Amino acid sequence: MELIDGKKISSEKREEIRETVNKIKSQTGKIPGLATILVGKNSASQVYIKSKIKACENVGIKSFHHNLDEKSSKEDIINLIKKLNENSEVDGILLQLPLPQNRDIQDCINSINPLKDVDGLHPFNAGLLNLSKNWDEIIKKNILVSCTPLGVMYLLSKSNIEIEGKTALIIGRSNLVGKPLSMLLLSKNATVIIAHSKTKNLKEICKSADIVIAAIGKPSFINRDFIKSGAVLIDVGINRVLNKICGDINFESVKDMNIKITPVPGGVGPMTITMLLENTLKAFYNRKQK
């Protein structure tokens, strides 16, 4: 087994981002800014937001945090987003999901200026990704892509894992991970399979894949019986079991196999926040070109 060290790769990338922010500040006198919105007091969301604010501080990005009451209406959320859209100091806006009772999520996302949509969930940015011909076009156009899929691609790249021509299985079809990741892998010429809760013969499909990305939210669901020798395993899952964090892949059952794998914690998680910082820089540059 070979570990894909997300902490190390993330730390190196954040140092690059810090240098870029310092360069922007010295050349323009401006500082990229990220606004975060948390509705209610979801404990997991509070932890994520604190991590994002701290990451901004560490690389020199301005952080603007807004905490709305759990009973805030859709109109309250959208009115705040509109104010942030108009704020010239704010380059990126992140609405922390899920919202209480999952109320009208897409309407709220749709109200974010696409140029400030650092989560890549606005239909405009999702459309740009889906219409892109290849990876080079995605990079050249500075398209804002959902942070976790972008982090997965960065991990694969920095770990020198070949994607072109490989069979990549994504287990999970969410708008936040599965769907955008499928487009990114296709842009790198992978043969992409998306599996989900209705997929039959998942074990057999999984054993045929060179790259397996688990994003299903089921603790330790994927074990050694699903995996072929030489596979690359990317574990997106973050599950709390008996006060411990574990992924969607049963790490203990595969650790003696000939594989490459991201640990949980310390794999994809750090890269998600790092790509949020990267997207804030992209948003800064994109807005300055308008």
Express each pLDDT in 200-257 by its tens digit.
999 999 999 999 999 999 999 999 999 999 999 999 999 988 888 999 999 999 999 9
| Gap between the Cα atoms of 278 and 98, Å rounded | 22
Is the pTM value of this prediction over 0.85? Answer: yes
Q: How confident is the model at residue 63 (pLDDT cuts 50, 70, 90)?
A: very high
Distances (CA, A) of 219 to 16, 203, 250: 34, 16, 8
- pLDDT, tens digit, for every residue of 72-126? 999 999 999 999 999 999 999 999 998 987 778 999 999 999 999 999 999 999 9
Q: What is the mean pLDDT of the chain?
A: 95
Domain layout of the chain by residue ranges: 29-114, 146-269
Residues recognised as catalytic:
52, 96, 119
Which whole number is the average pLDDT over 12-36?
A: 97
Instruction: Find out whether 147 and 154 touch, Cβ atoms under 8 Å.
Output: no
Task: State residue 290's pLDDT score.
Answer: 60
Asked whether the predicted pLDDT for residue 24 surpasses 90, the reply is yes
| CA quadruple 140, 141, 144, 148: dihedral, nearest 10 | -30
CA dihedral 8, 222, 190, 126 (to 10 degrees): -80
Mean pLDDT along residues 35-46: 92
Q: What is the CATH number of domain 29-114?
A: 3.40.50.10860
Q: How do residues 249-280 score in pLDDT, each as one tens digit?
A: 999 999 999 999 999 999 999 999 999 999 99
Its CATH architecture, for the domain 146-269, is 3-Layer(aba) Sandwich (3.40)
Q: What integer pLDDT is reported at residue 243 of this predicted model?
A: 85
